[in-house]
Amino acid sequence: MSALDLRTLFVAAISLAALAAGAFWLTHKRYPSTPGPGEWAGAHLLFAIASLLAALRGHVWDGFSIVLANSCWVFAYGLLAYGLRRFRGLPANATLLMTLPTALTAVALLLLWLPQDLLNLRSVLMSLVLGGQQTFILYDLRRSRPAVRTTTETVLGAVLLCSVLSHAGRILVTPWDTTAPPFFAQGGLTSALMLWSMLLTCGLILCLLTLVTDRLQADLSRLAARDPLTHLLNRRAFRAEAEREISDAVRNKLPVTLMMLDLDHFKALNDRYGHQGGDEALLRLARILKSELRQHDLAARYGGEEFCVMLPGTGLAPAREVAERLRRACEEESRHTRGTTVSIGLTLLPSGPESLNRALKAADQALYEAKRNGRNRVEVHSEPIAGIPASHA
């Protein structure tokens, strides 16, 4: 390890940071609405500048290669933390994360450099500051983690933990004297730490880029499962979610009810107010469904002006109360807006194969009865469905 030239490692670090800055900048330009990559591009650009200034030590004024270089590293990690908090939708204070740590570090570096070149004490100081910043990022990730922790976040936490431990180890092994050799004349330990730091930086870069990829993939999956107008589930996503709910209900021996809803006189509403009036009516019904249903109930725009709702763990009697509440809410809304009422068909899911398809057909028949009997009403599928316990009916 002692054969590794420290200046060569700095050149490699500069190249790595510059490439990472370019990658994050391109990601930011391609997905400007995603917070984080723009800040990470700036942070890695500062990493490259800091490494360049440090590599030029002996060729430029020490104020640049010592004070400015180390201050850039501190500011860069603050910018990294700032971008991570924005990426996760958390409040981010630029003064506390970037400006204040950088200013305090610059003052401390001046005090350790101007009287004499106290290299070891500066190394300890920078390990304390950078290790502290990384500890804050690690703590922030763990404190504000989502309910389901992704593999990428786990790996990112491991990378940050390794970096923190590296700084702690450096503090312990750095001798507290003032007779250390010049920076670029130090032995293999400094080169080994530099190489280890570059490997951790590679891991950090990969994790951050993967976080963005995971976010974009999740957004695409969410968009593919949602109706673009109402943001309710679309037909395909509803069927997939409904099959999972049915499996859970069968395993736990719970009833499941299904209702089909259709806006009354929707064609006349479109003819009178245009497609914008029709879209407003669809959005009003979607808002009512979101406000009146439970979080684990399923609601979907099944096609055109037709909606579908599944109530897991709910029998016919309470489900009818829910349907009546939805109907009354739509009726009340139609009195004050250019809306319209809703007709609802309700059924209990049968057991056995093709239960969802049979329930959809039964709910559609009940909806047809509601339309035929005057609209703005709830009808329950009246024919007995084999396999349904009487207590659930």
Q: Which helix (H) or strand (E) holds 309?
A: strand 306-312
Q: Classify strands 342-348 and 306-312 as parallel, antiparallel or unpaired.
A: unpaired
235-392 belongs to which homologous superfamily?
Reverse transcriptase/Diguanylate cyclase domain (3.30.70.270)
Query: Is there a catalytic annotation at residue 305?
Result: yes
Angle value at C-alpha 131, between 126 and 135, nearest 5 degrees:
155
Secondary-structure percent of the chain, ordered helix, strand, coil, rounded to 5: 70, 10, 25
CA 133 to centroid of chain Cα atoms? 22
Q: Is 91 helix (H, G, I), strand (E, B) or coil?
A: coil
Distance CA 60, CA 73 (A): 18
* Whether the Cβ atoms of residue 303 and residue 234 lie closer than 8 Å to each other: no
Q: Is 79 helix (H, G, I), strand (E, B) or coil?
A: helix
Per-residue pLDDT tens over the stretch 342-387: 999 999 998 777 889 999 999 999 999 999 999 999 999 865 444 4
* Whether the Cβ atoms of residue 128 and residue 172 lie closer than 8 Å to each other: no
Query: Tens digit of pLDDT per residue, the chain (393 long)?
Result: 445 677 888 899 999 999 999 999 999 999 999 999 999 999 999 999 999 999 898 888 888 988 999 999 999 999 999 999 999 989 999 999 999 999 999 999 998 887 666 778 888 899 999 999 999 999 988 887 665 568 898 999 999 999 999 999 888 877 654 445 555 555 566 778 888 999 999 999 999 999 999 989 888 888 888 998 999 999 999 999 999 999 988 888 899 999 999 999 998 888 888 888 889 999 999 999 999 999 899 999 998 899 999 999 999 999 999 999 999 999 998 887 777 899 999 999 987 778 899 999 999 999 999 999 999 999 998 654 444 443 333
Any idea which residue has 């690690």 for tokens?
138
DSSP 152: H
Q: Is 259 helix (H, G, I), strand (E, B) or coil?
A: strand
* Whether the Cβ atoms of residue 197 and residue 149 lie closer than 8 Å to each other: no
- Written as six digits, the tokens of 154 are 């786990």
Residue 300 has φ and ψ, to the nearest 5°, of: -145, 150
Q: Is 86 helix (H, G, I), strand (E, B) or coil?
A: helix
User: If you count them, how many residues does the chain have?
Assistant: 393
Determine which one of 39, 153, 245, 305 is catalytic. 305
Mention every residue, 6+ apart, whose C-beta is less than 8 A from residue 30: none
